[in-house]
Amino acid sequence: MSKQERVCDRKGKKNASRVACKLIKRPKKADVPPEELCNYCNGKCCRYIALPIDKPTNYEEFDYARWYLYHEGASIFVEDGDWYLIVYTPCRELDENNRCRVYPTRPQICRDYSVDKCEYDDHYLFDQYFETAEQIEEYAQAILGPRPGGSFRTPRPEPSGSMEM
Ligand code: SF4
Ligand code: SF4
């Protein structure tokens, strides 16, 4: 998003060029016929993958969650008690106009997804959301108590002595 678009998004039409405002203005889902909705969307549902994962119940399992979260673009969310790994990465077949290049042969999971329940105007509000290893560790400690063996964090290196000349 350009600087102009960001300004427009936050402060409205008066503070940005008409062109930028026109680009980001989107109708509400309820105001658009379902068959036209994707024309107003940036391909939101094609920009991540999400997979169910087991709810971690001990430190060994929380370590897997920590490993996921060390990776760029990975987060974990919890919805209705179910845990999911989500990786923000756009589909390679999403074209520059936010349309599917392989629409006639798209995977079944894409076919099963419909605009009726899609996230067009959702705001990604989850029951729980973890973006970093530190967040999941804090949560683990809150429900399991202190980690056996101490912190997972790499110890700080000892300060080196003065360099001999
Ligand atoms: S199905 Fe919904 S979220 Fe996906 S591209 Fe269409 S409008 Fe956007
Ligand atoms: S294959 Fe097509 S519909 Fe499926 S995620 Fe990629 S761009 Fe979207």
pLDDT in tens, 70-109: 999 999 999 999 999 999 999 999 999 999 999 999 999 9
65 Cβ inside 6 Å of ligand 2: no
Query: Amino acid identity of 111?
Result: R
118 Cβ inside 6 Å of ligand 1: yes
Segment holding 62, helix H or strand E: helix 59-69
pLDDT at residue 12 in the model: 38
Neighbour count for residue 154 (Cβ, 10 Å): 6
Q: Where are the domains of the chain?
A: 31-144
pLDDT at residue 6 in the model: 36
Neighbour count for residue 65 (Cβ, 10 Å): 23
106 Cβ inside 6 Å of ligand 2: yes
Q: Whose CA is nearest to atom 4 of ligand 1?
A: 45
Distance 113 CA to ligand 2 centre (A): 10
pLDDT at residue 53 in the model: 98
110 Cβ inside 6 Å of ligand 2: yes
The backbone torsions φ and ψ at residue 110, rounded to the nearest 5 degrees and listed phi first, read: -70, -35
Distance 110 CA to ligand 1 centre (A): 10
Neighbour count for residue 75 (Cβ, 10 Å): 21
110 Cβ inside 6 Å of ligand 1: no
Give Cα 21 to chain centroid, integer Å.
25
User: Is 162 strand, coil or helix?
Assistant: coil
Segment holding 111, helix H or strand E: helix 108-112
Structure tokens at 100: 């599917």
Q: Whose CA is nearest to atom 2 of ligand 2?
A: 100
Segment holding 50, helix H or strand E: strand 48-53
Tokens 């110890």 belong to which residue?
155
Q: Which residues of the chain, if any, have pLDDT below 70?
A: 1-24, 152-155, 161-165
78 Cβ inside 6 Å of ligand 2: no
